[in-house]
Structure 1
Amino acid sequence: MPIPASPSSAAQQARARIAAVLHELRLDAGLTVRALATACGWSAAKASRIENGRTQPADSDLVAWCSACGQPERAADLTAANRQAGQLYVEWRRRQRRGLRQIQESALTEIEQTALQRIYASNVIPGFFQTAGYCRSLFSAFVAFEDDIPDDVDQAVAARLERGRLLRDGGRRFVVLLEETVLRYRVGTPAVMREQLLHLLQVQRLPTVALGVIPFTADRTGMWPMESFYLYDNTRALVETLSAEVNVVAPAELLLYERAFAELGRLAVYGPTAAARITAAIEALDTGGV
């Protein structure tokens, strides 16, 4: 299968490492590309594409390659690495074909296993802070935008609201940075937004939550607004784009996201000052302002 263009250098690097190992296996076996292709029953073009990282190999391709090179025992490790590389960049369309509920349930499982969740949100309120009305407005927009998503909005809303209980469970911490614009975006009716913002004031007071709001007026010369991202302990960063989720696991890239989170955190206001920003957004709804 052709490899989709990926904004994740971690995914590209993982695939490049697999291709490099396959190249070394072929050289160690003393085989030309054509000879290896013949042994595997392929065209030389296919073998060349796999070795140069232009085509992602199937598990069966890796087994055939390793066997042709006289090292069948290497296939298991390469297969595992190949699957992990494929998970670094996951197209939303592929995941959404199984419905929104399934995505919410899998996310809940991962958050349950995370002790420290750090989130920078520049577009919407994070899932475990969402009310039913806000969540339903979002999911209804997803279904309307993507023609082939099953309409399981009610079930997906119920699954997402399950995340809210994690805010009150012991043993977890949630550090969330919101751009002030997120408080003003009209996701749903004014009544839906008012309920959501009032709920945000409530969860802000929870001992497991540290909520910061980055004001409109923050000096952005040192740190610009960026795409929303999620940090799971110190092991993974998840970046959501319009078409896919990008999973960042390379240590150097994780350090970049952790540094960005720290810099954004220095721009934020907290406690009563953050609550005042949320209250101002509620008042703007009540008066018809922005």
Structure 2
Amino acid sequence: MSTQEIFVFGAGYSARAFAGLRSKDAPISGTTRSVEKFDLLRKAGVAPLLFDGVLTAEIREALAGVTHLVVSVAPGEAGDPVLNAARAVIADEMPALRWIGYLSTVGVYGDHGGAWVDEVTPCRPVSRRSVLRVEAERRWLELGRALDCPVAVLRLAGIYGPGRNAFVNLRDGTARRLVKPGQVFNRVHVADIAGALAHLAEREKGGIFNVTDDEPAPPQDVVACAAELMGVEPPPEIPFEEAQLTPMARSFYGENKRVSNAALKAAGYHLRLSDYRAALRALWDDGDWAEGEPRARMGLP
């Protein structure tokens, strides 16, 4: 394998899991908006830098020798903050750049009434945040074509893992079993986000890839499975019409689809956790479900 130098814009939960897989093999720098998170990045093997929409001299210097660029920053009303600040630098001052990975969301597909969708399904975003994602994806793919550099767009399903799962919600008393007939969601364990990202980066493969497990499922079933593993009584089922939800939470239930991961598998990636049952069982058996960061069993530090 040729030498890699990785830079991550937005070293959040998923990107830190990726860094945990790759930091032993390649130097990694990454950004956060808060100095208070520097120690968290260092523990994941990431040299931390501040980025809040302005490209500093330190970031510019760090980018100069980068071979693999990962972007995990959400777009805003002004567009993609990384492209706004760094497009010219990426295009003109990164001669070693060989691959770009952009973390997006399956929300770009919008509502398909529970039908299966894949990467060639037209995007019909419902929420404003997903509309902005579609535009950000377009701009990153356009930049890749202009630079003759492969860009992988990873459309992520609902993310869970250590510190972010139904066990935590049950412990905290926030778990609810909302029932909307026919409603399913896709989800993916953070270990498979890290694994898929590492797989595509190592092969410098471009394209659009849905990153999700094999089983879109009703959300109330996931809570019931976690409760059974914990040995606690699951919360009662609540009809969706009677639920008190924030506008954002309610908007998620306005989108119903089953998202295929066939393209990711065709690219050679093998899921570590193929469905929510396997993932919850692994979290419970490992005992790391309450921790805030991914680690050990799935190859993460």
Do the structures match in fold with TM over 0.5? no
Provide the TM-score with structure 1 as the length reference. 0.25
Give 1 or 2: higher helix fraction.
Answer: 1
TM-score, length basis structure 2: 0.24
Bigger proportion of residues as strand: 2
